[in-house]
Every structure is written in structure tokens, then in C-alpha cells.
Structure 1
Amino acid sequence: MTVQGWLLIAVFVGILLALAKPVGLWLFALYEGRRTPLHAILGPVERSFYRLSGINPEEDQTWRRYAVHMLVFNALLILMTYGLLRAQALLPLNPQGHAALGEHLAFNTAISFGSNTNWQSYGGESTMSNLSQMLALTIHNFLSAATGIALAFALFRGFARRSAAGIGNFWADVTRITLYLLLPLCIVLTVFYIASGVPQTLAGTVDVSTLEGARQTLAIGPVASQEAIKLLGTNGGGFFNANSAHPFENPTALTNLVQMLSIFAIGVGLTYTFGKAVGNARQGWAILAAMMALFLAGTTVAYWQEAAGNPVLHQLNAAGGNMEGKEVRFGIAASALFSVVTTAASCGAVNAMHDSFTALGGMIPLFNMQLGEVVIGGVGAGIYGFLLFAILAVFVAGLMVGRTPEYVGKKIESREVKLAVLAIAVLPLTILGMSAVASVLPAGLAGPLNKGPHGFSEILYAFTSAVANNGSAFAGLSANTPFYNGLLGVGMWIGRFFIIIPMLAVAGSLAAKKYTPATAGSFPTTGPLWTGLLIGIVLIVGGLTFLPSLALGPIADHIAMIRGQLF
């Protein structure tokens, strides 16, 4: 580890914390439906959309109605994407003449982007036309991200409202988030990426001369625009198969820093928005403190392990850290930091190959996802997932002080606790169940390129990434098969929507409750004790479930490595 590496981490954290309040205030304006400076330009667009679609943005929807509209909207988008991918060969803007995607790959990809996972069983530049990249895929990058933020708003209203039947309007939330947040920021980021050297063109390829004088054909396309939203919306799907390790997606150290900040910016801002929504900014800061503590712990372990390198290679006099699978433009510190950021935030973009990390260095991205993607988390999904853990934490705290648990003025009763447990249980049940199936069936065992613990880690990582809606991969698994495309697609769908429904039910239940003022017997939910309890609940409830699987995979792999055995 180096001083420069720690300085990079410190600069990243400092800028991120400085962004929390301004981003949170902008999000709070959208949460309340208040006018912003952009309304003078985009207000007519918003009103025209409502008139054309017959939507009344002032209608307050119950949690069931909010959920039905969200599910139907996303189902139609997934079906549209499947149809576009199956018809790709017949559609325009296909300069390289790519064939249509097969049934199982189109199914997997449609659900992947519709669930904000962006798992890629395909190579983008060798599979997708420009139309597919821009219409079939990028539209999900905007709308799945907007859906996640809208769902967070709905849960915020559940905590903030008193004796209310509704939790907001899904269509108004998604429209405002897209128009006044995602679209303007992506325009700015796209211009920045273009200025930094990222391509933005409808051409399919360009011929260049190599240093040896040979001719080489390079794939290009509308990269910058997709790059902006893939990171800001914590989607992660790259235009190129190498994702953010490709110089056309991530050309400089500055773009690398901006990409990491983009991944975390909205998630960090939403913690402040929550505090404002419930009338106590300290509530949001307490959640952010717990998130950042978990993030910094993971970053420290990942950086330490990658900087330490492989002891087997050290015995062969090959000193230094682990540079395998990493871009020399970024090095160990920036690669380790990026890996923790992208898996803490449910993004899935990568600037290094996680399969080439050391055993424990690769375990941290895996563990981040197994915690439920709540360490900052995906846009919207991170904060509403963390609040489900907060409900369990305050329930435990209530047992400690012998009172009915309360959180931000709402009594937490058996209904909310049961729904929170139901939502949190989705990930371990699905991840471990599907990993077990793939680990015994011939079709599943044909996927990993390695045997032993590392091969099991490749399987476990794939299902963890899919069900947690992350989308990154260990890159050592051949997943473009009917078995993996089908099972991973189902896992992505369950991991997204089977958590959302009980979460919205919690929002509806809380909104109907009266406000309960804090008393001397109430457990404080803003100080260091509360932050520590939150961290403990996330680690115990979210993490310990996966300890046996981690012991069979990365931990066993690490023990074998220090004993001189490589797979």
C-alpha cells in the first residue's frame, strides 16, 4: 500500500461527503414535487407528457396501486426490449450487421436491464447494434434507475406521512426524476466524457494504423451517452465487453475518479433526503455514517490484499502487489477502490477483472453484494434496503429497552418486522438455492473455468451478482448458455421485484400510522450507538448467512494460496 493510494481514497471520500447535502437537497425538491430552476425549460415537457398519457400527477396512490403501476410499467419495458433484441437483424442502425439475439440470451438481457442489473452474457461491441445499445438497453438505464429512486421516495413518505392512505404517484415520481435529475446530469457527463476522448458516433467501426504499420479495425459507437447513465444510474452495463477497463469507456485517471463519484453520488444524496423527509437531518447522517464505515472497512481489506500480492509468486522472487487483471493506467489502489465502489453500489461496472483478484480481495466485492447491496447501494434500492435493516435494528433495540420499538416517530410493530424479514430473506434463499443447484447439475458445473474453491466462487459470485442486481462478474464463468441465462434471469427478476413488494407494503403500513413523539424511554436513533447497532444488524443478519458459502469459496481459496497451492 502506498501514500498515493490512500490519498486517492481520501480524496474520493472527501468529495463524496461534500456532494451529499447538495445532491440530497435537489432530490428532496423532487421528492416534494417542488419547482426547480430546470422547470422553466423542462416544465412544459413534463406537463405535455401528463396530458398525452392522461395521468393526473396529483393523484395519491395507495401502496398496492403504486406497486401495480410499477410492475406493469417494468413488465412492458422488458417485453419491448426482448422484442427489439430478437428483431435486431431487421432493424436500422446496425452498421456491423449483427444478428438477432437468441431466445435465452434475449430473455436474460431484457430482464437484466429491466431489473437494473445489467448482467452481460454477451460482448457488447460484438453482439449489439447501435439501436439496441441506445433504445433497447439505455432506456432501461434511465427508467430502471428512476424506478429505484421513486420507490425510495415512496418509503420515505411512509415514514414521513401521518395517517395517510397514499405514498405518492409512481408516474409523477419517475417523470420528475428522469427529467430533472438523470437527464440533465447525463448531458453534462456525456459532454465531459466526449471531451476526455470517449467516442460518441453512430459509426460502427474505425480503421487505424498500429505502431507496427498494420491496419486494425476498432469498434466504436454512441459510447459516451451510455457511459454517463450506466454509472450515474448504477446500472453498470458497458458498451464494450471490457467495460470500464476499456480505454474508450474510461480513458484517464480523471474519468476513473468521476465514474466512481457518479456511482455513489445519488445513493449518498438520498441519505440526506431521507433525513429531510422525516424532519431530522441527523437521521440521514446516521445512516450515511453506517454505510461509510462498512464501505471503508471493505476498501481497506481489498486494497491491503491486492497490494500484498500473491505469496506464491513472492517465493519465486516476483515481488510486488497483484497486478493480474488490472489496467496499468489505474494500478492497484484505483482498481481495488473501484471494485468496492461498484459492488457496494449495485452498479456492476468494472475497471479490473475481479476473477484475477486475490482470494480475500475478491471476497470483498462478493460480500458487499451479499449484504443486500445496502452499503450506499443502487440508486434508491440501497437506501430502501438499508431502511429495512433499520426496522430490524430498532426492533432489537426496542427489546433491549422493553418498549414498543419506534423509528422516526412511527411505531414498528409485527407487520412491519415480518415484511422486512420477508424482503431481506429473498437474497440468501435465492442466491444459496440457485448456487447449490448449479454446483451439482452437469449444466452448472460446465460453466466455471476453474475447479475447486475458486470454481465454486465463480458460481457463487454469478448468482450473488444476479440476485443482488449488481451485474459484475468473476469473468471466469461461461454464462452464455441456456442453463445460466435462464436461471440467472429468473434470479435477477426475483432479486428486484420480490423485495420491492414487501417494501412498498411497509411504506403503506407506516404511512397509515400516527406520529409518536420520542420520550425518555425511546431508543436514540441518531448517535454512535445507533450507527453501531445498524452496522451489527447488517453484518449479522445480512452477512453471517453466507459465511459457510464463503468458507467453501474464497476463504478456502486463500488458505490454499498461503500454503502454496494455486488452481
Structure 2
Amino acid sequence: MAFALTIVVMVVVLGLCWRFLGSYMVAVYEGRSRWLSWLERPIYRALKVSPESEQTWQRYAASVVGFTAVALLVTYGIFRLQGSLPFNPQHFGAVRADTAWNTSVSFVTNTNWQSYSGETTMSYLSQMGSLAVQNFLSAAVGMAVAIALVRGFARKGSPTIGNFWVDLVRGTVYVLLPIAFVAALVFVGQGAVQTLAGAAPIHNELNGVSQVLGRGPMASQEVIKQLGTNGGGFFNANGANPLENPTGLTNLMSVLLILCIPVAFTYVFGKMVFSTRQGLAILAVMTVLFAGWLTMAAVAEHQGSPAMAAAGISDAGIGNMEGKETRFGVLSSSLYNVTSTQTSTGSVDSAADSYTPVGGFAMLTGMMLGEVSPGGVGTGLYGILLFAVITVFIGGLMVGRTPEYLGKKIQGREVKLAALGVLVMPITVLVLTAIAAAIGVGRAGPLNAGPHGFSEILYAYTSQTNNNGSGFGGLSANTPFYNITGTVGLLLGRFGMIIPVLALAGSLAAKKPVAAGLGTFRTDKPMFVGLLTGVVLIVGALTFLPALALGPLVEQVSHGFF
């Protein structure tokens, strides 16, 4: 009953976000919301940017890459010099070079993969000045790219797709900062820690044990890591740590923060292309996929642990509680983790490595679909729009006419760019996984043998290349091999998709619209929703099913559960 109420609350709140947050975001990116202009204008002056100037897709892409490169170098420098910088009450030294590089790339690509324990590695300055700052900026970059693609569909014969610097500033100042500020106050009120004081030594009088309790500026970082679909965490235990996620309310708020902007972006899309029905069609596909994967994980985890069943231990009807917080339970934990992996967030409140094979399969394959259900902030929308372009191309082949989407003819260039953006992730994941499984230094990483160990490797590269950042666990990933190869996945997963998306935006913006005819494939109808859903599933299955058969599927069969 409590879980059913949670779902009802989610649907209602996200419905309000779709309508009102979406409408607000349209006003922000169209320059009609100016209530923070006193903060916006000085930033433009510092950047020497005119809000009225626009860029071609090439200049927009160059700005994205250049900005990310500068952010990467600044972040890396802070990590390497943190032992000599202030706000370091723990007296942590410099972060090892390969770890610092992997982490820097991870946070500027909105991945937040952490191969280290945050509370024993990063100073407060590194946490605030590098990690939290990039949580805002990398999210704003993804939102800007999505808006640029939407403009590509909406504009007619335009050589430009907007201005990256203006989109970056508006997304940060008007959307991310206000929501994060208010939500952080709620988290602090619920008991999340927010302090610059050092760790607190405590002594338990009952058992005579003393320990040091880590503290820091956690609440502010916790909120933006969820809102910006970043992931990561101040503690290695992530959302399972009560200092980050203290109550059931903060647990539910975390889920809502993760989903609110990706859901609202479908309204933004519909409104900016002058048809909210188009946005609703995209939202329907996202909802079908999300509901299916949530059901898969929840049912699997409610069945109990195969290991406990094999040992003859009853789970007393509570399901697989291994690796889960008793204050959240099986269903809420499944909701949190599926939400995290169906977006590019990667934060978790339970140990993915302890899930049943099918439960782990649900989280792993949620990422393998391209994280479009609903995906990350901005990235989910432009990811599913790439699939939409492929879908209308297939639909055009079926009826024997040139495919169209939103009044734009989809020709060879657009299809090639969409296919490149869709396929770069699975190719990268499979190649990196094959390399790691084939050489000794890669096989030394998993702490488990057999199919579960293979799943740990496959999950790590899937998470990094999808810019998700969650960890399956059981993998010793903080090694030069995994840090360096993981960085390849991080960069290709981010820019191997962003650059084709921006090229597609430029190509579409330059096209003149064509009038709809009797043979036009309607993309705001249930048939398109079904076809788009099928394309997402088929692409995911064709690329990843053989690898999945070596990991979670064979592990499930070996337990006799099929």
C-alpha cells in the first residue's frame, strides 16, 4: 500500500512538473523569463557574449568542447593540488594521477563515476569547487544541447541553432540553481549534513567502540547530483548513507528530483515545435519503458535471493533484502535504482551487486537502451529524438516515401547522423568489455568468478559510456587499466553523441518544412509510440543480447529460476 501511494504521488508531482516546470523552461530558453537578469547579465559581460548573438552548429559544438576542456583542466588541477589548497580539514594529499584524470573526465561528462571512496579521498574544496560545480555545469551542457536540437526541428531555413553560452547560463541560473537551493534546505531540515567542520570523533558507551564520523557539505551536493542526473556521492555508500539520504521523504524527493527535468523536457519539446501532442508521444514511450523495467526489477527482487533459497533460508515474504536498507525495503530500493539507471544519474540507495540476476539485468539493460526512458537532463530527450529519426526512416521505407518528422524531410545525412549517435555507445561498450575480459589485467578486476564477474566488467563500461556512473560493485576499478580505459568510454559516450546531435540540429534547422500529405506518417499517434518503443528495444537487443547471455542471463539459468 505504501509503495502504491508512492507511485501515485510520483505520477501527480511529475505531471505538475511536466506542465509547469516545462512551461517555465520554455520561457527561460526563449529569453522571456528574466527575473534573475541581475545575475545573468554580469556573466555575459565576463564571457564577452551577447545574448542576441547566435552560432552555427559548428561553432556551437566547438564551444561545448572548448568549455568542457577548460572545466576538465581546472578540475584535474584541483584534485592534484588539493593537499596544498584550503578547505582540507582531513589533510588529504593529492589524488593519484590516473584516478584524478578519470574522475575529472567523469564529472565534466555528467557521469560521476567514482572508482574511489569520496569520504577518504576528496577534500571539501574538491567536493565543492570541482565535483559540485561540475554537477551544475555538465547538466546545463546536456540541457543546452537538447534545446539546440529542438530548435533544429522548430526553425525554418535557419543557419544557426542558438548560442551555447547563453543556453548554458540560462539553464544553470534559472533552472538548476533555484530548484537545488530550495531542495537543499529541505534535505538539511530532514537531517542531511551540511557543514565545513571536520570529521567528528564519537565513542559508543554501550560497546566501548570509538570511530570517526565523516562530515562535510553533503546536502547541497546531494541535491544537485540528483537534479542534474549526475550521480556520485560524498560517501562511498551513496544514497544508502543516512547522512546523505536521511529519511523516506528525502528518498522520494531524490527520485522526483532525478525525473522532474527529463519529464519536463518532453513538454518543452512539444511546445517549441508547436505541438504538445508530439511531446506527449515521446513521454508515452519513456513511460512505457520505465514502467516495464521497474516492474521487472521489483518482481525479481520480491522473489528473494537465489543464494538464500539454495541454502534453505526463508525470506519470510520480504524479498531479497541483501544489500538494501531496511528503512527503504525492496520496492522503494528497486524504484530508486531503476530510476537512477533509466536516467544518467547513477546514484543508488542499495547495492546493485547484491540484486538477483534479473534485478541486476533490469538495471544493466536500462542503460543499454541508451538511457532514454526518460534519460538524463537533456541527454534523454536528444537520445530518444535520435531514435525517433531512425523510426520515421523505417516508417518511410514501409510506405515507400521520403520520411518526414515534424515537417522536415529525413534524408541520408540525417539518418547517418542519428545512426552514428545511437551506435557509438554499444560499439564502445562491447569493444572495451572484450578487451578487459581478454587480458589478465582486466580479468584481475572482478572479485567474483564466472558470469557474475563478467557482469561486473560489462556493467562498469556500460555505466561509464552511457555517462551514468553507477557501479555494480565487486570490481576493483581504481587501477590504471580501468581508469584509463574507462576514460575512453566516458569521452566517446559523451561527445560521440553530442557532436552528431548538433550536426543533426544544424542540418534540420537549415531545411524548409514540407506540407503534410495523405501519406505522411503521423508521429503524434499510438502507432508511432509503438514503433518507436519497438525500435529502442530492437536496437538494444541486437547489440547487447549476446553479451547479456554471458552474464546475468546465464547466471539466472544456473540458479534454476527459468
Which TM bucket (shorter chain)? over 0.9
Supply the RMSD in Å over aligned alpha carbons. Answer: 1.2
What is the distance in 2 between the residues matched to 1:305 and 1:271? Answer: 30
Q: Indicate whether 1:408 and 2:409 are aligned.
A: no
**Deviations 1:323-347, CA, capped at 9 Å, x for gaps:** 0010111000000111110000110
Match of residue 355 from structure 1: 353
What is the distance in 2 between the residues matched to 1:526 and 1:398? Answer: 16
Describe how 1:427-506 pairs up with structure 2 within 5 A. Answer: 427-506=425-504
Count of aligned pairs: 558
Q: Which range is displaced more, 518-527 or 300-309?
A: 518-527
Amino acid at match of 2:323: G
Rate the CA distance shift 1:448–1:398 in 2: closer, same or farther, 3 A. same
Deviation at 1:313, TM superposition (A): 2.2
Q: Indicate whether 1:158 and 2:155 are aligned.
A: no
What is the distance in 1 between the residues matched to 2:101 and 2:339? Answer: 28
Mapped contact 1:310–1:561 kept (Cα < 8 A): no
Match of residue 394 from structure 2: 396
**Deviations 1:16-54, CA, capped at 9 Å, x for gaps:** 223211111111112211124xx1xx2122111112221
Deviation at 1:74, TM superposition (A): 0.4
**Deviations 1:83-107, CA, capped at 9 Å, x for gaps:** 1100010000000101110110001
Residue 274 of structure 1, aligned match among 254, 269, 284: 269
Q: Indicate whether 1:335 and 2:329 are aligned.
A: no
What is the distance in 2 between the residues matched to 1:334 and 1:204? Answer: 32
Match of residue 143 from structure 1: 137
Deviation at 1:398, TM superposition (A): 1.1
Residue 418 of structure 2, aligned match among 394, 417, 420: 420
| TM-score normalised by the chain length of structure 1 | 0.97
Amino acid at match of 1:304: V
Amino acid at match of 1:298: W
**Deviations 1:289-332, CA, capped at 9 Å, x for gaps:** 00000000000010000001134523504233100010111000
Mapped contact 1:312–1:562 kept (Cα < 8 A): no
Describe how 1:50-449 pairs up with structure 2 within 5 A. Answer: 50-210=44-204, 211-314=206-309, 316-319=312-315, 320=317, 321-449=319-447
What is the distance in 2 between the residues matched to 1:452 and 1:168? Answer: 50
Mapped contact 1:367–1:543 kept (Cα < 8 A): no
What is the distance in 1 between the residues matched to 2:335 and 2:97? Answer: 37
Match of residue 543 from structure 1: 541
Amino acid at match of 1:369: M
What is the distance in 2 between the residues matched to 1:326 and 1:12? Answer: 21
Mapped contact 2:306–2:356 kept (Cα < 8 A): no
Please give the secondary structure, in 2, of the residue aligned with 1:562: coil
Deviation at 1:7, TM superposition (A): 3.6
**Deviations 1:61-97, CA, capped at 9 Å, x for gaps:** 0000000011000011001111110001000000010
What is the distance in 2 between the residues matched to 1:21 and 1:118? Answer: 29
Rate the CA distance shift 1:520–1:258 in 2: closer, same or farther, 3 A. same
Q: Which range is displaced more, 312-321 or 511-520?
A: 312-321
Please give the secondary structure, in 2, of the residue aligned with 1:208: strand
What is the distance in 2 between the residues matched to 1:544 and 1:336? Answer: 26
Amino acid at match of 2:178: P
| Structure 1 residues without counterparts, runs of 5 or longer | none
Mapped contact 2:109–2:138 kept (Cα < 8 A): yes
Q: Which range is displaced more, 80-89 or 3-12?
A: 3-12
Please give the secondary structure, in 1, of the residue aligned with 2:559: helix
What is the distance in 2 between the residues matched to 1:313 and 1:117? Answer: 34
Please give the secondary structure, in 2, of the residue aligned with 1:87: helix
Please give the secondary structure, in 2, of the residue aligned with 1:349: coil
What is the distance in 2 between the residues matched to 1:138 and 1:311? Answer: 39
Rate the CA distance shift 1:524–1:189 in 2: closer, same or farther, 3 A. same
What is the distance in 1 between the residues matched to 2:344 and 2:480? Answer: 25
Q: Which range is displaced more, 203-212 or 464-473?
A: 203-212
| Structure 2 residues without counterparts, runs of 5 or longer | none
Q: Runs of 4+ in structure 1 displaced over 6 angstroms? A: none
Match of residue 29 from structure 1: 27
